Amino acid sequence: MVAWLIVFYLVARVVSAHAGEVPPAEAQAFQQVFQKVAPSVLAIRAQGRDAMSGSQTRIIERGSGVLISRDGLVLTAAYLVHGMDEISVEFPGGVKVSARVVTSEPAAADLALLQLDRVPLGSIVSPMADSNTVQVRDKILIVGAPFQLPYSLSVGSVSARWAPNTAYRTMPLAEFFQADATIDASNSGGPMFNLKGEVIGIVSHNIATDARSNRQGFVVTSNTAKQLLLEKRSAGSGIAKGSCSTPSVRSC
């Protein structure tokens, strides 16, 4: 109960900070979407060794991800988990579950797909949208789940769309949204939602903090994630889609 009171306070603070640019009805819509999708956003902690240094130095990455299927598939940024020895995912309420990398694209798109060892009863899945339907100036939310901290929330709009091999040629297969919502370590690897509560992209902290971004965050589109990660899987029937009206998970 206390945790959700903190969440509601956070939403109020974020929306009030945009009060001069967000009409009351739109502010209410942001709150409703946030309350709907926040339980699907997970905190990710990964540990590994620094292979480049040739030593036993341990490295730790922290970020966010989003549960997209009833059988425990999680989308996140590749740089958080690629090559790591141990991956832990924390659900709202503090339940921690181990995970492994199913597939990742660290160079092509900074995306990774995780498989959870189990899915806690009652977990919430967020549906994946067709990102081709997203238009410039559409309103969006970016949600993060910092470890042992309340959710992070950033609201804004899509300011541009970049085709593969245009904005960042070092990631030639990734299509990007450019958004004016704040992107930082707290929501790195986390989802960007439309106002229907559907996932339309995955945040990449490495890209978003580049000096060229000029405080404009770059988010890999959901269709890129589908093409590079999900279509490789032979069994993808458990993945929630935009038309899904019952996103609750009821199995362990």
What digits encode the pLDDT tens for the residues 61-72? 999 999 999 999
Residue 132 φ then ψ, to 5°: -65, -20
Lowest mean pLDDT among 186-200, 204-218, 236-250: 236-250
Q: With cut-offs at 50, 70 and 90, classify the pLDDT of residue 208.
A: very low
Distance of alpha carbon 119 from alpha carbon 71, whole angstroms: 7
Distance of alpha carbon 79 from alpha carbon 183, whole angstroms: 16
> Measured between alpha carbons, how far is residue 185 from residues 8, 63, 237 in Å?
21, 7, 32
Domains belonging to the chain, first-starting first, are 1-237 (2.40.10.120)
Q: In this predicted model, which residue has the larger pLDDT, 22 or 249? A: 22
Query: How high is the pLDDT of residue 206?
Result: 47
Mean pLDDT of the chain: 81
Query: How high is the pLDDT of residue 39?
Result: 95
Lowest mean pLDDT among 63-72, 117-126, 216-225: 216-225
Count CB neighbours of 91 within 10 A: 21
Task: Please state, for a pLDDT cut of 70, what percent of the chain lies above it.
Answer: 74
Query: How high is the pLDDT of residue 28?
Result: 85
Lowest mean pLDDT among 13-22, 31-40, 64-73: 13-22
